[in-house]
Amino acid sequence: MSADSQQDFALAFLSILFEGAPFILLGTLASGFIDIYLPPGTMDRLLPKNRNLAVLAAGLLGAVFPVCECAVVPVIRRLVKKGLPVSCAITYMLAAPIVNPITALSTWKAFQGQGAAMMTCSRLLLGFLIAVAVGLIVSRLPLAMVLKEKLVRSLDEPEKNHAHDDCGHDHEHGECCGHHSSHDHAPLPQDDRLVAAFRSAMKDFIDVGVYFAIGVSITALFNTGIAPGAVWLDGLAGSLVGAPAALMVLAFILSLCSTSDAFIAATLDKFSWGAKLAFLTFGPMMDVKLIFLYQTVMRKNFIIALALGLFLAIGGISVFWQHLVLQVR
């Protein structure tokens, strides 16, 4: 890399990093404290009994329990084992990284001067609608088509779980009922929990920070024209269909966190906002790292179908939505 390229890369890299790092911290602190302090039965209790209403409500749970896409997969895995309907869990998994106050705030901040309100509202609405649609479809599928065989088997073994009559939630058997709950287990020292919460937050920060650093590096290379494909990518920017498709592929590869991806999208100034909307909606639902995380819960065939469905639906709606907004303006 020439001295000029080093200088350009450094300026672009540091500026995006400085802009996004505080929002990653905010997201991972929230996620870490929820991880430690939130009893797992809380979500079950908040959802309506009606299957469709429960899916709709699950799409909004991220507003109350904001977690990014990295943190949400272990959470839903645990919740599914604890009896949360799979359709609700998948709706929450897809919606929570987008439909949450931290992502809304970071999107709004990142798009200042570029139609921030429109982009933020469009992102939240599209993320919610897509997640609910997937949840409603999943609610009509047999579990064996969606979940890994091992997980389905564990759900089919009622003797492994039991319900306490007086507390209303399930426990795994073991030497003790060690997980958190609202009844008369011996309380843990607050110091321990605080340390555990900070450790969980730091672990989330590292998980997200690694991908963010890689994503920012690649973005800085494209942003300053150092990357060999920068001109090719710019060439797609004017294409109605090619632009959102290219940015969704980029989102898939970059594997950015939803709390900070808006800062990357906002710098892609050659692309239309419809393409950026596709980037911001597809990325938190499907990317390289999520593929690996999803495989701990879902079947491969289902993941492939989900990826293709999300790509087509988000791309199509983004193009249509941009066209509609331009017509109205």
Residues 160-179 that bind other proteins (CB under 8 A): 171-172, 174, 177-179
Q: Which of 311, 203, 299 is nearest to 251 (CA)?
A: 311
Give me the least distance between CB of 50 and other proteins, in Å please.
Answer: 28
Site size toward other proteins, by CB under 8 A: 80
Task: Please tell me whether residue 11 binds other proteins under the rule CB under 8 A.
Answer: yes
Distance CA 70, CA 255 (A): 10
**E strand or H helix that includes residue 172:** strand 170-172
Please, what is the minimum distance in Å from the beta carbon of residue 71 to other proteins? Answer: 10
Binding mask 117-146 for other proteins (x = CB under 8 A): ------------------------------
* 89 touches other proteins (CB under 8 A): no
Question: Which of 221, 215, 303 lies closest to 260, judged by CA?
Answer: 215
CB 168 within 8 A of CB 41: yes
- The answer to whether residue 25 forms part of the interface with other proteins (CB under 8 A) is yes
Choice between 123 and 289, CB closer to other proteins: 289
Contact between 4 and other proteins (CB under 8 A)?
yes
User: According to CB under 8 A, which residues from 229 to 258 bind other proteins?
Assistant: none
Tell me if 191 contacts other proteins by CB under 8 A.
yes
Look at residues 94, 77, 90 and name the one whose alpha carbon lies nearest to residue 40.
77
Stretch that binds other proteins, among 23-31, 59-67, 93-101, 315-323 (CB under 8 A): 23-31
Residue from 57, 67, 81, 294 touching other proteins (CB under 8 A): that is: 81
CB of 15 to other proteins, least distance (A): 4
CB of 151 closer than 8 Å to CB of 81: yes
Of residues 112 and 327, the one with the C-beta less far from other proteins: 112
Residue 270 binds to other proteins (criterion: CB under 8 A): yes
Query: In a 3-state reduction of DSSP, which class is residue 161?
Result: strand
The C-alpha atoms of residue 35 and residue 28 are separated, in whole angstroms, by 10
Residue 299 in the binding site for other proteins (CB under 8 A): no
Residues, the chain: 329
Give the shortest CB-310-to-other proteins separation in angstroms: 22
Tokens of 155: 């759900």
- 29 interacts with other proteins by CB under 8 A: yes
Residue 51 CB contacts under 8 Å (≥ 6 apart), including other chains? 85, 87, 139
Closest CA to 264 of 1, 4, 89, 15: 15
103 lies in the binding site for other proteins (CB under 8 A): no
